[in-house]
Structure 1
Amino acid sequence: MRSPLSGWDGLDPALRWMLRINLIALTTATLLLGAAYLLGFKHTAVEIDLAVMVVSLVLMLVTPPLCRRYGAPAAISGLTLSSLLFAVGGTWATPNLSPLTALLTMVPLLVGFPYLSPRWTRALMVVAVVGSASVVALGEWRRLTALNDLWWVNALVVACSLPAGVAVVIYLVRDAYLRLREKSEQLAESRTRIVEVADAARRSIERDLHDGAQQRLLAMSVTIERARKELQAGRQEGASVLLGQLAADNREVLLELRELARGIFPPLLTERGLVAALQSTARRSIVPVTLDVADVADVPRPSRQVEAAAYFCILEALTNAAKHSGATEVLITVRGLPHLRFSVSDNGRGFDRRLADVGGLLGMEARVAAAGGTLELETALGRGTTLRGEFPPAAV
């Protein structure tokens, strides 16, 4: 049975984690206040706060199905509505909560900043500024007319609500710090990887030229010399045969150079996009390939960097499957919603990652990371190999 929160699975792991923390905190606060109400602490302010929490919780639970199609914007929109409702309702019922509720109006901006477009970010900035100012003004206005004489009403609501809100802010700051530290470490590693990957690519091109086109061109020069000698000796028939062989060799060299050029950067990728380039690659593959594409035509074409990263990772995985895995079938899936992601699965023998050369994988990871995406490899001896990559909306 599918989990009610499975719609969040396609989101960035850090965003998914923050949404779950917010949901847990909101649920905990709702249960605590509901338990207090059932135990006899009944008051209008408690009832209003409890109703606001329940509706805010429902708004959060509505977002997972929408995220399957709209991605991060749907999740952040639900979080914004939930936070604003909690802020206004909580401040109306309990003006003492205004410092906390003003802070909560800024949470959607802080959570969504890495995942949204500049237009969405500007809109959330307006929400944070206007929302926090409005909540504070509402709290001061209500404080004069709705401050409860019963001390336990304010104490109870604050005790149930404040820890949950503080927990969300603490985890948000912690996540931002960890993300910044991780990015700094990745930047330092990527500098070394870029040099290593570039050197490996140059060596690969040199090896392909030396073992392929260069050897064929040397053989063609020998054939030309033999044909010249045949013509000098008056043996027209022998020269004709050699010239025919030379023409065939020339065609093979041209074909090999075209394949090498496609490997460097296929023109079809630039002209018609990722799907067209993959269709061409699948047709030329030694191993039978099933290409499963969905939703790509429904979204704007991603940047050239993202397309190139996805294409070359898929190409590398397909080449490895043909050369090393003994696979008889490869499945390539590409999805455009809620954001661009792909997978390459083969039914080959798999491998032990601890014993494998990680140079190719490091190159793919560096290329995907440079485009703002993530890469994941699943493999085991006798169980095939699956490579998955995804690019959040900010990268695309």
Structure 2
Amino acid sequence: MVVADSVMLAAEPESEAEPESRTGRTRRLSPHIGVVPTASMVTGAALATVWFWVPLVILIVGISAIPSGIGFVLAAVVFTYLMRGVDRVERVRSEAVFGLAIPVPPRRLSHYTGIQGWLHQLWLDISSSRFWKGCAHHYLRMIYDMAATGLAFLLTAIAVLGPAAAIAVDGSAAAAGLKFLPPPLAWLLAVIALAAAVAVLVFAPALDVRIDRWLLSPSSTAVLQHQVNALADARQGAVSSAQTERHRIERDLHDSVQPRLVSLAMTIGLAQTKLDTDLPAARNLIDEAHNDAKQALAELRNVVRGIAPTILSDRGLDAALSSVVQRAETSGVPTTLDLYLPRRLPDEVEAVAYFVVAEALTNVAKHAHANQAVVTVRLDETAGQLHVSVFDDGRGGAAYPVDGIDNPDATGLRGLEERVRAAGGTFAVSSPATGPTIVTAVVPCAS
């Protein structure tokens, strides 16, 4: 059935698939009546006679291999990936054959990476109602298609063999004493059986449509639970982001600005004691204090820049990113900016994009030893998403966490992930040991 569904993807004529609101023409046929739905059902039923047993055998082998452990895991992995692929094919088939745009149920994704993330995602998939509804849909459709096609085949066989048997028996009835339907009645029943077979083939796909809508559509409970989980995740990301930002500010003030101000106060105090006794020394101390004050201001600007850059609110994301790229180039890393922003975005979205680029380029300058970097920021107005990507050709090793274990040197990246999560977006880092490193973020934004 899976193979048959994929074969029928492009076969539906536009006159039967396009509604009036999209083509300007009145639809003459119901979407479940036509050659394509019938051919899909018949071909699927034929292939299902073999395919029906394949997932079942894998599932049974997996259950029987529970004591061995490894065999159970392998069977579970094969069965899970097989049925996930079947679910995708079924949705494509439903869209191609019946023109149904059934929304995809939400899928919970693991926040872990590496082998731990893979195992966790496997468990999330196999324990979800979406997975088992897809399995139930696939088998219910196979059973129904085989039953409907088998009934049509039986009726067709009766229509073909009935009259032939009646004629044969009628010719030898006197010699052998056989009795059967009279040929006229056999012909009448053959016509009825053939008409019934055609009716089954034409109208049976109507129930296929109902099965698709029933089991492929997400339930309201699942959608609501997904929204609740997304809001909880965004809230946790906002809390973590605020804590990370507070710790960063405390650390920067304690490690840079505070010692500088303490030194400034001590220098000014020494200068005061020298004013009456050693004026040249007092002047030198005042010059030193002046330099300390300028350095403290510069360090304070760096701290404030991590909170709310003025250029971002005044001139927008394009000007702010241009400034970040210029600073990266002065640090010795040639950087290219590819920007597509046809309009201003919400303040939160612009701030997230700015911090992703700024932190990523800071890491490039400090750790990557890269020859070049490329910043790509593009607004997808159709999907309502802002795509941010920072690429460098330097050494890698910036991925986090590794096999579910946090990298203590990747606190900046964790902070970025929390910022993006707080905005309802997704964040990813690809950084093999030999490079290159790609930092990507996708942030939803209001249209």
Same fold, judged at TM 0.5 (above): yes
The alpha carbon displacement at 1:164 in A equals 5.9
User: Structure 2 residue aligned with 1:246, among 289, 293, 298?
Assistant: 289
CA deviation profile, 1:212-261 (whole Å, cap 9, x unmatched) = 1111111111211222222120x322222222222222122112212211
Structure 1 residues 333 and 79, CA gap change in structure 2 (3 angstroms)? farther
> Is residue 237–residue 421 contact of structure 2 (8 Å, CA) maintained in 1?
no
Q: What does 1:225-374 correspond to in 2, within 5 Å?
A: 225-233=269-277, 235-285=278-328, 286-296=331-341, 298=342, 300-338=343-381, 339-351=385-397, 353=400, 354=402, 356-357=407-408, 359-374=411-426
Q: What does 1:1-396 correspond to in 2, within 5 Å?
A: 28=8, 31=11, 50=13, 52-53=15-16, 56=18, 81=22, 88-91=27-30, 107=101, 150-160=195-205, 163=208, 166-167=211-212, 170-173=215-218, 180-233=224-277, 235-285=278-328, 286-296=331-341, 298=342, 300-338=343-381, 339-351=385-397, 353=400, 354=402, 356-357=407-408, 359-392=411-444, 395=446
Give the 3-state SS of the residue equivalent to 1:232 in structure 2.
Answer: coil
Greater helix share, structure number: 1
The alpha carbon displacement at 1:180 in A equals 4.3
1-structure distance, mates of 2:13, 2:100: 22
Give the 3-state SS of the residue equivalent to 2:380 in structure 1.
Answer: coil
2-structure distance, mates of 1:345, 1:223: 45
Give the 3-state SS of the residue equivalent to 1:184 in structure 2.
Answer: helix
2-structure distance, mates of 1:204, 1:90: 65
1-structure distance, mates of 2:379, 2:244: 31
The alpha carbon displacement at 1:80 in A equals 7.4
> Is residue 334–residue 341 contact of structure 1 (8 Å, CA) maintained in 2?
yes
> Is residue 230–residue 424 contact of structure 2 (8 Å, CA) maintained in 1?
no
1-structure distance, mates of 2:259, 2:388: 37
2-structure distance, mates of 1:367, 1:319: 17
Q: What amino acid does structure 2 have at the position aligned with 1:374? A: T
1-structure distance, mates of 2:437, 2:5: 38
1-structure distance, mates of 2:373, 2:214: 45
2-structure distance, mates of 1:200, 1:369: 13
Structure 1 residues 152 and 272, CA gap change in structure 2 (3 angstroms)? farther
> Is residue 213–residue 257 contact of structure 1 (8 Å, CA) maintained in 2?
yes
CA deviation profile, 1:292-333 (whole Å, cap 9, x unmatched) = 23431x2x3111111111111222222222333333432111
Give the 3-state SS of the residue equivalent to 2:427 in structure 1.
Answer: strand
What TM-score, normalized to structure 2?
Answer: 0.54
> Is residue 313–residue 347 contact of structure 2 (8 Å, CA) maintained in 1?
yes
1-structure distance, mates of 2:394, 2:363: 10
> Is residue 32–residue 209 contact of structure 2 (8 Å, CA) maintained in 1?
no
> Is residue 350–residue 382 contact of structure 1 (8 Å, CA) maintained in 2?
yes
Give the 3-state SS of the residue equivalent to 2:430 in structure 1.
Answer: strand
CA deviation profile, 1:147-189 (whole Å, cap 9, x unmatched) = xx95555533444565367436633326x76554444334444
| RMSD, aligned α-carbons | 4.0
Match of 1:135 in 2: none
CA deviation profile, 1:191-223 (whole Å, cap 9, x unmatched) = 444333322221211110111111111111121
The alpha carbon displacement at 1:387 in A equals 1.0
Give the 3-state SS of the residue equivalent to 1:324 in structure 2.
Answer: helix
Query: Highest CA radius of gyration, 1 or 2?
Result: 2
Q: What amino acid does structure 1 have at the position aligned with 2:395? A: R
1-structure distance, mates of 2:379, 2:211: 36
Unaligned residue ranges in structure 2 (runs of 5+)? 38-93, 105-193
Structure 1 residues 93 and 230, CA gap change in structure 2 (3 angstroms)? closer
Give the 3-state SS of the residue equivalent to 1:336 in structure 2.
Answer: strand
Residue-pair matches, total: 286
CA deviation profile, 1:49-76 (whole Å, cap 9, x unmatched) = 74535x65xxxxxxxxxxxxxxxxxxxx
Structure 1 residues 302 and 169, CA gap change in structure 2 (3 angstroms)? farther
The alpha carbon displacement at 1:272 in A equals 1.2
> Is residue 347–residue 385 contact of structure 1 (8 Å, CA) maintained in 2?
yes
Structure 1 residues 183 and 350, CA gap change in structure 2 (3 angstroms)? farther
2-structure distance, mates of 1:280, 1:327: 19
More displaced 10-residue stretch of structure 1: 218-227 or 190-199: 190-199
1-structure distance, mates of 2:422, 2:358: 18
> Is residue 316–residue 344 contact of structure 2 (8 Å, CA) maintained in 1?
yes
Structure 1 residues 160 and 290, CA gap change in structure 2 (3 angstroms)? farther
Structure 1 residues 368 and 200, CA gap change in structure 2 (3 angstroms)? closer
What TM-score, normalized to structure 1?
Answer: 0.60
> Is residue 364–residue 370 contact of structure 2 (8 Å, CA) maintained in 1?
yes
Q: What amino acid does structure 2 have at the position aligned with 1:265? A: A
Q: What amino acid does structure 1 have at the position aligned with 2:391? A: S
